[in-house]
C-alpha cells in the first residue's frame, strides 16, 4: 500500500515552496531527448559516480549528502525505471503518485486469515473504502506522505519527467535540485563545500514525512550511512563508493525549521527507540451472536512462546491498510510499515494474537509485519523501509528470544495451509522481489556457509541484482514482468534450462508443471531457505522439494547457494512414506472435556523413504483455544498441549511439519550425495 497521511494542502505548500526556491538555483537547459540505448550501454562503469559528482557541483550539494540520501532511498539502483511501492523512480526516488499503475488493492486475499475453522472465518475481501477515499488513486489510496516530487524536480531542472523517471543521470540531477531547494528554503549553508552536517533539515525533508520523528529517523539513517561509508555495484553494473566520514555529527536542530508536528511517544509502545513508531490500535470488539473481531487476547510469551515473525506486504496503500486494521469486522496484524520513510504503526500488542497468516497454529505463535507494497505489480521496496523493518525485527527477536534465521523469520508465502483444501488459497507475499539476503544483512544475521558441497545442505542465496527470472503477469496475465533482481531460484524436473518446472500438488492436483506467473511460487526456492542436497550434475544442483528432486542452476563460477550443515529429517526404517502437516496440533487425548478436538489432518503431500529435508525446529503439539470474546467457552484462553512433538522442515516453498515419531534426525553430511 502507498503511504498517505499528508493533507492535500500541505502537499500544495511543498510544491509552492519548491517552485519558489527554483528561482535561487542556476538556470538549466531545456529538456533534452534521452540518449539512444546503444549510447547508454556503452557508458563506462565509472560514469554513475561522476554523475553524482556533477549533480552535486551543479546544484551546490555536498556529494556525501547526495550519495547518502540516494543510498537510503534505493541503494543507488535504477530498478529499470520502474516505480517503488510508493511511486518513487530512479536512484533518487523521485515520486510520481499519479504515474502509478492503477490496480485493485488486496488482490488474491481470499483465505481466512485467522486460519482456524473452530470459529467463523473473517471476510475474504476488505470492506469497501469510503466514497471520499475512492476519489484518490489505486482504488482508495491517497498520495504518499512525500507527495509529488517528480514534477517539482522537472521544474527545478528543466528536464522532462519521462527522462527523470528513466534516465539515471537526469534522476540524480533532480534529486540534487530538490535537496538544494530544501536547503535554501531553510536558509541553511549552501554549496558543494558546505558542511554536510548542516544539511540535516534538507535531508529530513527529502523523506516527505508528515511527522518530525519519522523525518528525523530517515535523516539519522542517511547520516549513519555517510559516517560508515558504503560501496556496491548497482543493478545496472556501476560501481559507486561513498567514503566514510566517521567524525560527522549531524546538526539536528535544523529539523525544527521544517515545522513538522512532534507527537509524544505513548507508554508501552513495542518499538525500538531509534525508529519512528506510533500506536494505532486494532479494535477488540463483540458484535453479538458470539461473533467478534479483529484479534484474540492472550498472554504471550508467558502463555505460549512466540516462534515466528511473519513478513507480509500490504497489497494496498498505507492509509488503506490503517483503515482496514481499525475495522473490527476485518482482520489484523501487529505492525504496518510505510514505504516512503519507514514509519511504523503498531496495532496489536505482542502478547495478543493477530489474524494475519491464514494458519491458526502460526498466528498463535507469531508476530505479523505488513510492509507497504504490491508484490504482483513489479514494484520495489525502499531501503528506508527495509532498514526500519530490520530494526523492529531485531528488537522483537531479542524481546521474545526468536532466532534470526529463515526458519523463524518467514514470509507469508512460507506459511503452510492448515488443511488440503486451504493450500491453494494461501498468500504468496512479500513475493520474489523481496531482497531476503539484504534484509538479513541488515538484521546482522547474514547467510553463511562452510564452502564444501559435502555439507549436505544448501542455503539458497543468489546474487539478487543479477538473478532475474523471467516472471510474467505483474501487470497482466502472460505479459513479461520488468527485468529486476529476485531472491528466487527456479526449480525444474531435470538439470536443463528447458526442462519443465516441478509440480506442486497443492496448487496443481493434476500433476501439471507450475508456471512463471508471478504468484505461482510452487517451483521456487528463496534466499535464506535451506534444503537437503539431492544431487549434482555439472552446473546444476538438486534439492529435495515437495517429495521430488528439484533442479536449479548453480554454476561453480557464480554459485546461487551456500553449502551448510545441520540436521535433516528422514522417515524411520520400514516407513515407505510419512504424512506431512500444515499445523502442529496435539493428539485427541490431550483435549479436556467440552473442548472440540482439532483433527490432525495430513496435507496432500508425503515424504518418502530415502528423502531428506532440512530441520528448522522441534516443537510441541499445541492448540491455543480462543473462540469467544470473553473467554467463556470451555478451555478458552488456554494452550492445550499433548505428548506429540513435531519437526518443522523446509518441505517446499513453505515450511511444514512432520510427527517426530515418524522420522529420524540425522546430521546432514551423512550419506549426502556429491
Residue 8 domain flag:
no
Residue 455 domain flag:
no
Give the domain range for residue 622.
568-667
Verify that 245 and 359 share a domain, yes or no.
no
d(CA 105, CA 108): 9
Verify that 90 and 160 share a domain, yes or no.
yes
Residue 129: which residues within 8 A CB-CB, separation 6 or more? Answer: 139, 140, 320, 323
d(CA 440, CA 446): 5
Cite the DSSP H helix spans in 264-338: 318-325
pLDDT value of residue 1: 31
CATH number of the domain to which 83 belongs: 1.10.530
| DSSP secondary structure of 555-580 | -TTS-SEEEE--EEEEEPTT-SEEEE
Cβ pair 298, 305 in contact under 8 A = no
Residue 153 domain flag:
yes
CATH number of the domain to which 390 belongs: 3.40.80.10
Cβ pair 156, 175 in contact under 8 A = no
pLDDT value of residue 111: 61
Phi, psi of 569 (to 5 degrees): -105, 135
Verify that 153 and 222 share a domain, yes or no.
yes
Residue 52 domain flag:
yes
Cell numbers for 484, please give them: 529486476
Verify that 221 and 83 share a domain, yes or no.
yes
Verify that 165 and 130 share a domain, yes or no.
no
| DSSP secondary structure of 128-165 | PPPTTGGGSHHHH----TT---HHHHHHHHT--HHHHH
Residue 478 domain flag:
no
Verify that 139 and 152 share a domain, yes or no.
no
The domain boundary residue, chosen from 432, 456, 487: 432
Verify that 227 and 361 share a domain, yes or no.
no
The domain boundary residue, chosen from 218, 237, 258: 258
The dihedral region occupied by 575, where left means phi > 0, alpha psi between -120 and 50, and beta the remainder, is beta
Number of domains present in the structure of the chain:
3
Residue 451 domain flag:
no
Verify that 239 and 383 share a domain, yes or no.
no
- Whole-prediction pTM value? 0.90
The domain boundary residue, chosen from 395, 416, 432: 432
Verify that 290 and 220 share a domain, yes or no.
no
d(CA 277, CA 272): 8
Residue 578 domain flag:
yes
d(CA 150, CA 170): 11
User: Which residues in the chain come in under a pLDDT of 70?
Assistant: 1-46, 98-111, 121-146, 670-674
Residue 311 domain flag:
yes
Verify that 91 and 178 share a domain, yes or no.
yes
Verify that 359 and 410 share a domain, yes or no.
yes
**CA-to-CA separations, 314 to 105, 108, 130, 317, 424, in angstroms, rounded:** 8, 12, 19, 7, 20
Verify that 135 and 171 share a domain, yes or no.
no
| DSSP secondary structure of 324-372 | HHT-TTS---SEEE-TTT--EEE-S-TTSEES-SS-HHHHHTEEEEEES
C-alpha R_g of the chain? 25
Cell numbers for 460, please give them: 539458497
pLDDT value of residue 671: 53
Phi, psi of 371 (to 5 degrees): -105, 130
Amino acid at each position: 500500500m502507498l503511504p498517505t497521511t499528508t493533507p492535500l494542502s500541505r502537499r500544495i505548500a511543498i510544491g509552492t515552496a519548491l517552485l519558489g526556491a527554483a528561482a535561487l538555483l542556476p538556470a538549466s537547459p531545456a529538456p533534452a531527448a534521452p540518449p539512444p540505448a546503444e549510447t547508454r550501454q556503452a557508458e563506462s562503469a565509472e560514469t554513475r559516480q561522476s554523475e553524482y559528482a556533477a549533480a552535486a557541483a551543479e546544484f551546490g550539494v555536498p556529494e556525501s549528502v547526495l550519495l547518502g540520501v540516494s543510498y537510503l532511498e534505493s541503494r543507488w539502483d535504477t530498478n529499470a525505471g520502474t516505480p517503488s511501492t510508493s511511486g518513487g523512480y530512479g536512484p533518487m526516488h523521485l515520486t510520481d503518485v499519479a504515474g502509478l499503475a492503477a490496480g485493485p488493492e488486496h488482490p488474491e486475499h481470499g483465505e481466512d486469515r485467522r486460519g482456524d475453522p473452530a470459529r467463523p472465518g473473517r471476510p475474504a475481501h476488505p470492506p469497501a473504502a469510503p466514497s471520499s477515499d475512492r476519489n484518490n488513486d489505486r482504488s482508495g489510496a491517497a498520495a504518499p506522505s512525500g507527495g509529488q516530487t517528480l514534477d517539482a524536480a522537472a521544474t527545478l531542472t528543466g528536464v522532462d519527467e519521462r527522462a527523470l523517471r528513466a534516465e539515471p543521470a537526469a534522476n540524480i540531477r533532480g534529486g540534487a535540485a530538490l535537496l538544494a531547494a530544501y536547503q535554501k528554503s531553510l536558509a541553511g549553508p549552501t554549496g558543494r563545500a558546505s558542511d554536510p552536517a548542516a544539511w540535516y533539515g534538507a535531508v529530513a525533508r527529502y523523506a516527505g514525512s508528515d511527522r518530525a520523528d519519522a523525518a528525523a529517523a530517515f535523516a539519522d539513517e542517511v547520516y549513519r550511512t555517510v559516517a560508515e561509508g558504503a560501496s556496491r555495484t548497482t543493478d545496472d553494473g556501476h560501481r559507486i563508493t561513498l567514503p566514510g566520514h566517521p567524525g560527522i555529527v549531524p546538526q539536528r536542530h535544523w529539523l525544527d525549521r521544517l515545522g513538522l508536528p512532534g507527537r509524544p511517544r505513548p507508554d508501552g509502545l513495542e518499538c525500538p527507540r531509534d525508529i519512528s513508531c506510533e500506536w494505532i490500535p486494532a479494535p477488540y470488539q463483540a458484535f453479538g451472536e458470539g461473533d467478534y473481531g479483529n484479534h484474540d487476547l492472550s498472554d504471550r510469551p508467558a502463555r505460549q512462546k512466540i516462534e515466528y515473525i511473519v513478513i507480509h506486504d500490504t497489497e494496498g496503500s498505507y492509509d488503506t491498510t490503517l483503515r482496514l486494521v481499525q475495522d473490527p469486522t476485518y482482520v489484523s496484524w501487529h505492525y504496518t510499515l510505510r514505504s516512503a520513510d519507514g514509519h511504523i504503526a503498531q496495532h496489536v500488542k505482542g502478547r495478543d494474537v493477530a489474524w494475519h497468516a491464514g494458519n491458526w497454529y502460526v498466528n498463535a505463535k507469531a508476530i505479523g509485519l505488513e510492509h507497504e507494497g504490491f508484490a504482483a505489480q513489479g514494484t520495489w521496496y525502499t531501503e528506508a523501509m527495509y532498514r526500519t523493518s530490520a530494526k523492529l525485527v531485531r528488537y522483537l527477536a531479542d524481546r521474545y528470544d526468536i532466532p534470526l534465521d529463515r526458519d523463524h523469520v518467514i514470509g507469508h508465502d512460507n506459511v503452510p495451509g492448515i488443511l488440503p483444501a486451504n493450500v491453494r488459497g494461501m498468500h504468496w507475499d512479500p513475493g520474489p522481489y523481496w531482497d531476503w539476503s539484504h534484509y538479513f544483512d541488515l538484521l546482522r544475521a547474514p547467510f553463511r556457509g562452510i564452502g564444501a558441497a559435502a555439507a549436505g545442505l544448501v542455503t539458497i542465496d543468489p546474487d539478487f541484482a543479477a538473478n532475474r527470472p523471467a516472471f510474467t503477469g505483474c501487470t497482466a496475465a502472460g505479459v513479461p514482468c520488468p527485468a529486476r533482481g529476485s531472491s528466487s531460484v527456479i526449480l525444474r524436473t531435470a538439470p536443463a534450462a528447458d526442462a519443465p518446472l516441478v509440480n506442486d500438488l497443492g496448487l496443481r492436483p493434476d500433476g501439471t508443471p507450475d508456471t512463471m506467473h508471478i504468484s505461482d511460487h510452487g517451483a521456487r526456492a528463496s534466499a535464506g531457505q535451506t534444503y537437503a542436497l539431492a544431487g549434482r550434475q555439472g552446473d546444476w544442483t538438486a534439492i529435495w522439494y515437495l517429495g521430488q528432486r528439484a533442479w536449479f542452476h548453480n554454476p561453480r563460477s557464480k554459485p546461487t547457494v551456500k553449502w551448510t550443515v545441520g540436521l535433516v529429517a528422514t522417515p524411520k526404517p520400514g516407513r515407505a512414506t510419512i504424512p506431512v502437516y500444515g499445523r502442529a496440533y496435539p493428539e485427541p487425548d490431550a483435549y479436556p472435556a467440552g473442548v472440540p478436538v482439532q483433527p490432525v489432518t495430513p496435507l496432500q503431500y508425503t515424504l518418502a523413504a530415502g528423502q531428506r529435508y532440512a530441520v528448522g525446529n522441534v516443537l510441541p503439539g499445541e492448540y491455543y483455544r480462543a473462540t469467544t470474546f470473553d473467554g467463556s467457552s470451555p478451555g478458552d484462553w488456554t494452550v492445550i498441549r499433548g505428548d506429540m512433538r513435531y519437526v518443522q522442515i523446509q518441505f517446499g516453498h513453505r515450511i511444514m511439519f512432520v510427527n517426530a515419531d515418524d522420522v529420524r534426525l540425522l546430521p546432514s553430511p551423512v550419506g549426502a550425495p556429491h
